[in-house]
Amino acid sequence: MSLVERKRQLVRDELTEAALRLLAFQGFEETTIDQMAAAAGVSRRTFFRYFSSKEDVIIEFLSDLGRKLSAALSSRPLAEPPKEAVQNALRVFTDNLWEHPEKSRRLTEIMVNTPALLARYLERQLEWKASLAADLSTRMGTSPPGDVTAPVLVAVAFAAFDTALIHWVQQSPDTDLNALVDACFAVAFPPT
């Protein structure tokens, strides 16, 4: 990566962090693009070089997590059962959320309670599901579209994960998200 690219990435990272912090603690509707730019020490024009809207700040953050999710599944041991591989790969999200739990909780609450953000999250999730299902099919030695095992397994895993997220924002702040994910997976994938 060149010096210019590194500088650009640094500005983007600082802008993202400042904007996410404001959104988390001030609220989505209450936060303006001008406030986000000012918090990062950049102009409004610079903000628009990196993001086309304030929704995009959260969506781009989620896109980065999506790439990490795919890499996490690829790095899981091949001998690991498919359900466990997906569940362990989803820890990319929970680990990331636990780095800054209060901010993450607030952002998650904003995302699930703001229709435009929820729609964009679900749109991204469709991409992640397709990617993970393809990776999982390869791991399992199945071939889509004839075999629906991997896509169904991934869809059920995300249903369990999303249920855990929604319950997490409704619980007390010290609720363990990983424990909720584990509980939801236990319901979604009961022992046979």
pLDDT digits 0-9 by tens, 152-171: 999 999 999 999 999 998 98
Res. 65: pLDDT tops 90: no
pLDDT digits 0-9 by tens, 109-147: 888 888 888 888 898 899 999 999 999 999 988 876 678
Dist. CA 90–CA 69, nearest whole Å: 6
Q: By percentage, how much of the chain surpasses pLDDT 70?
A: 99
Dist. CA 142–CA 122, nearest whole Å: 26
* Spacing of C-alpha 39 from chain mean position: 23
Q: By percentage, how much of the chain surpasses pLDDT 90?
A: 47
Max distance between CA atoms of the chain, in angstroms, equals 57
Question: What does the pLDDT read at residue 144?
Answer: 65
Q: Sort 28 into a burial class: Cβ within 10 Å, 0-12 / 13-18 / 19+.
A: buried
CATH class of segment(s) 54-188? mainly alpha
Residues 6+ apart with CB under 8 A from 39: 18, 19, 21, 22
Res. 26: pLDDT tops 80: yes
User: Tokens 């986000």 belong to which residue?
Assistant: 36
Distances (CA, A) of 66 to 18, 41, 76, 188: 21, 28, 16, 22
pLDDT digits 0-9 by tens, 38-62: 999 999 999 999 999 988 888 877 7
Q: Sort 183 into a burial class: Cβ within 10 Å, 0-12 / 13-18 / 19+.
A: middle
In the chain, what are the domain boundaries?
Answer: 1-51, 54-188
CATH H-level superfamily of 1-51:
Homeodomain-like (1.10.10.60)
- Computed over every residue of the chain, the mean pLDDT equals 89
Dist. CA 183–CA 171, nearest whole Å: 14
Dist. CA 176–CA 114, nearest whole Å: 23
pLDDT digits 0-9 by tens, 79-113: 999 999 999 999 888 887 777 788 888 888 888 88
